[in-house]
Structure 1
Amino acid sequence: MSKYTDSPQPELPTDKLAMHSPSATAPSHLPDSMMSSVSLLPNDKRLILFTRHSLRERSDGNGFASYQLPLTPKGRVLAKSWGRWLAGHLPYSLDVDSISSPIGRCIDTAQLMQEGAGLRRNITHQSLLVEPGSLVTEPEIANAVFKEIGVLNFINRFLQGNLEGTKNAYQGGLDILSLFYQHQPQQGHLMLAVSHDTLLSAFLAVMLDVLEIDWNDWPKMMEGVFLWFDEMPFDQANAHFVWRGEVYIRPVSTLLDGYRAAGFHSSKLLLPPEVKWT
């Protein structure tokens, strides 16, 4: 997956980063990328961890992961130990409500991460963190295509604007960004947002301004992106994010411009109420 390069500052200068160097061993089965990302986190931001759920049971015989599949015992241990590790080794408090897909394995991931951090906070179910919702608008159309072409081709056709029954790609990215913007925690806190691989892969592709991904780009279970915003109104803010050991900046305005250039009306976007964009 190519990095986003149109921003005047595509990467955050290293002198602005906290450059954490955790010495403790990472939890077993945690994707290696999470430790390399942790080492680049800044201090004292309103931080969000947008993550895929933890290890789940294998897909059924047709290769599709139904929403009924639960976390495995190893997945439950991983989620709890990852929450414990974050609470013990980052200068951030996880003592904040979480948001999650309403699917059981995502809710369980958020709850177990909270328990690992020694917390018991609310977990709000968010329809934008599951499908239909974030990408799909007409499931009766999109589901048939999904089963016919498979998940990777489905996401690539979504990114290329060649898929009936779904949002425009800019709209999908902006709606998720707006959700995060409106649920930012207090400064110095880390909020969990737990979702699925399809949403995370599509969101990252939109943020990185790429139209095609491959299996190397696909988020692993319990892999996530750290994200924070400038202290600016949504439409003027930069979204900063750390993914697989690299730091990126994407101005929200470029996503809005792309959406408008594609001929879509702002009324379809789930923008923060204070944004008056026409």
Structure 2
Amino acid sequence: MSALQWQIPPSLLQQLQRTPKDRAVVMLVRHSVREALPPGDVGNAVPITDAGRGLALELGRLLRGRLRTLETSPVLRCVQTAQAIAEGAGEDLTIRENRLLGEPGAFVLDGGRAWANWERLGHEGVVQALVSETSALPGMARPDEAARFLVRSMLTAAADQPGLHLFVTHDLLVTATAARLLGRPLGLDEWPWFLEAACFWSASDGVEVRYRDHQATHPDPLCGLAEADVLEFARREIAATVGFSSGARFFLAGGAFKSLLTGRPPKDLDLWAPSEDDRALLIAALQSRGARPAGHRPFADAFEVGGRVVEVPHATDAGSLPETLARFDIGLSAVGVEHRPNDGWSVMVHTMAHESVLRREVLLLKPLVNWKYALTTLERTRRYAQELSFSVPPAEEAEVWRVFEAQDAQLRAGLIERYRRTGLGGFGIMEDIACRYP
């Protein structure tokens, strides 16, 4: 097709007319026109053409007054597309790079392993597997869970701000995500044109999905603490940080799994090792992937890697996943996944984690095993409630204060000192102590 023939996809023009203007609409859009990809290469360095830039500028002009945010795959042609759209829209937007959109993207966990799928199946075969199969290809995520997590994260990023929120990506991600959320496979003739998009927005009865003439309402919530969601979240985060080849047995456990409920990246990842040897392998693997120290922690070594903070606790005396989850005092923290060196996995979600989600309340695991850190636990319950828009039942707060008040003056002082060392502050704990014990 020549430069004179390139055009904004008709389906996109229809979507712009049909999408609601009173709510946040997420548009997962393929990048603009590019040159042909080199044979046998992913083509990350291939730019958009002059015609592609012109088309993206034209799309930006169509979005004037409606474009609110812009995120992109880090791959060059996607970044260039996003820049041209922003320029055409006349908007001084911060363009945020998002690795769920590419390099590697939501469906790829281990690029080296995943590339073998393209060599064996070809691009068409990989996409066909993503739109129709339930299992994961080697080095890749289970497609249904990955698609739902991607849409959940995009809707969270849109933050209920009415208008259009563009996420520039690749044909594979548009096709697979649309197919999964629509609940129907998409054939080769339904792959997106350059700048064609799938649209998503929240409604009272679920998430509205639009792609070309297809439409569906997908049940909400898109993600939760089901074992399949928990496992795929763990696989994604481990792949991005320590990788699958550390040789260590370990447990990803704790509050990181709240990301499945919020759609936001985890604050940090706790990787628990069941032995000193496993812990040494974990740290060696992190360092081999460029991990840098992330400051002092009282009970762990902390590292920054892959855009995440990873904490490796000093304690190695919990030899199993149930023993590790038994260390926690909050139901929503008692979620974990075990990774074994043979690529074996197991999942455990405490019943009180499910109950917390069902009731939209932050619930304690009683009796508190870490009662000497009860004030830090109280702060964490309040923080979880804020992050999730949950509540903390009065009975749960009362339990913490009951533990505190059951101690003599010296032990109370010790609890306060431990809170000062381990708490983040800012959730009214010290103020409550001052009011209760003037």
Asked if 1:242 is matched to 2:210, the reply is: yes
**Gaps in structure 2 of 5+ consecutive residues:** 234-258, 265-331, 333-352, 355-438
* CA positional deviation for 1:242: 2.2
Asked if 1:39 is matched to 2:11, the reply is: no
Report 1 or 2 for greater relative contact order, CA contacts < 8 Å, sequence distance ≥ 6: 1
Moved more, 167-176 or 243-252: 243-252
Deviations 1:6-49 (A, max 9, x none): xxxxxxxxxxxxxxxxxxxxx95111211222232223111222
1:151 is aligned, of 123, 126, 129, to 123
Question: Equivalences for 1:114-263 in 2 at 5 Å?
Answer: 114-158=86-130, 159-160=132-133, 161=135, 163-210=137-184, 212-230=185-203, 238-253=206-221, 256=223, 260=226
Moved more, 215-224 or 239-248: 239-248
Q: RMSD of the TM alignment (CA)? A: 2.6
> 1:129·1:195 contact (CA, 8 Å) conserved in 2?
yes
Asked if 1:78 is matched to 2:55, the reply is: yes
> 1:40·1:242 contact (CA, 8 Å) conserved in 2?
no
> 2:66·2:163 contact (CA, 8 Å) conserved in 1?
yes
Partner residue, 2:344: none
Larger Rg: 2
Q: Structure 2 vs 1, CA of residues 173 and 69 (structure 1 numbering), >3 Å: closer, same or farther?
A: same
> 1:40·1:247 contact (CA, 8 Å) conserved in 2?
no
**Gaps in structure 1 of 5+ consecutive residues:** 1-26, 232-236
One-letter amino acid of the counterpart of residue 57, structure 1: E
> 1:98·1:123 contact (CA, 8 Å) conserved in 2?
yes
The aligned length equals 236
> 1:37·1:246 contact (CA, 8 Å) conserved in 2?
no
Tell me the distance in 2 between the aligned counterparts of 1:123 and 1:187: 17
SS at match of 2:80: helix
* CA positional deviation for 1:190: 1.3
SS at match of 1:119: coil
Larger helix proportion, structure 1 or 2?
A: 2
SS at match of 2:208: strand
Partner residue, 1:49: 27
> 2:152·2:263 contact (CA, 8 Å) conserved in 1?
no
TM normalised by structure 1 equals 0.76
> 1:47·1:227 contact (CA, 8 Å) conserved in 2?
yes
- Determine what percentage of the aligned residue pairs are the same residue: 25
Tell me the distance in 1 between the aligned counterparts of 2:219 and 2:160: 22
Tell me the distance in 1 between the aligned counterparts of 2:113 and 2:107: 13
* CA positional deviation for 1:221: 0.8
1:69 is aligned, of 39, 42, 46, to 46
